[in-house]
Structure 1
Amino acid sequence: MSEIADFLRARYAEVRAAAEAAAERAGTGDWRYRSGSDHVAAVQTFPNDVSARRELWTPLVTEAGSYIGDTIDDEIGNHIAAQDPDVILADLDAKLAIVELMDRTLAQPFAWHADHKGEEWAP
């Protein structure tokens, strides 16, 4: 196991811990954003409801300092919703699977980190 792979695993473990904490705090449901909305929500779907496919939208993130009726910019709302912990965890699993093959390249986004070895780890 290389030093770079160890470094990447440590950074991914930090991201995983944050995603798992967010998932625990938010509860179940996919993170979604509706264009023009004032929040990002965790959405639980109840497909067994015979009368209709019901969804429960639980607000997670609202624009700081907003008033009722204010909206989040679509770009920001979509980005926040894309940070759904399930998506982040799946992304981490995929990255860990290829760390050994491309560890130097994957370490570059963390060049700012104190444990990064700079030029020694350059691709």
Structure 2
Amino acid sequence: MSEIADFLRARYTERRAIAEAASPGPWRPNAEHDEVIAVDGITVAEGFALSGRQLRATVDHIAANDPADVIADCDSKLAIVDMHPPEEIPEHSRRSWQTFTTQCASESWKVYSDAENRVEYPCRTLRLLAQPFVGHPDHKGEEWMA
């Protein structure tokens, strides 16, 4: 595997575990939009410390990120990571980079004439998936920026 793929798998696995441990979804705001209610009727969060529009928007945001949706999001992103394995560059390649991927070869602006159907690894897709985690201590910063 690769460093960026392992990093992304770890982040999505962490988020998925948090969602699995949460109150069951789907979550919804109550009629006043000042509480988030789980499918079992339990109050998940109260927005009482906020005021008016911010309270309603915060409650709606929490409800929109219920565990089932977060789990589905993590699973789909893990599948995307798995679609982008690094591959070794053949010895006859003239490029200095060591790995490539064929999944994102349609990004023609990155395809080189002597490496048809290959793009440098990590590809832009994986670097974009890593951007939300830029503050994580294991993120490689500029190296992984899209």
Q: Give the TM-score normalised by the residue count of structure 1.
A: 0.72
The answer on 1:115 being equivalent to 2:138 is yes
Partner of residue 104, structure 1? 127
Other structure's SS at 2:32 match = coil
Partner of residue 15, structure 1? 15
Other structure's SS at 1:96 match = helix
**Greater RCO (CA < 8 Å, at least 6 residues apart):** 1
Q: Give the TM-score normalised by the residue count of structure 2.
A: 0.62
* Bigger share in helix: 1
Size of the aligned set, in residue pairs, is: 104
Other structure's SS at 2:42 match = strand
Structure 1 range deviating more: 92-101 or 7-16: 92-101
After TM superposition, give the deviation of residue 12 of structure 1 in Å.
0.7
Other structure's SS at 1:60 match = strand
The answer on 1:43 being equivalent to 2:30 is no
The answer on 1:85 being equivalent to 2:91 is no
CA distance in 1, matches of 2:53, 2:35: 7
Other structure's SS at 2:39 match = strand
CA distance in 2, matches of 1:82, 1:116: 27
Structure 1 range deviating more: 9-18 or 95-104: 95-104
- Answer yes or no: is the 8 Å Cα contact 2:127–2:144 preserved in 1: yes
CA distance in 2, matches of 1:65, 1:111: 29
Please tell me whether Structure 1 or Structure 2 has the larger radius of gyration of its CA atoms: 2
Partner of residue 89, structure 2? none
Give 5+ residue unaligned stretches, structure 1: 45-56
- Answer yes or no: is the 8 Å Cα contact 2:34–2:56 preserved in 1: no
* Bigger share in strand: 1
CA distance in 2, matches of 1:113, 1:19: 19
After TM superposition, give the deviation of residue 58 of structure 1 in Å.
2.5
RMSD: 2.4
Give 5+ residue unaligned stretches, structure 2: 85-102, 104-124
Other structure's SS at 2:38 match = strand
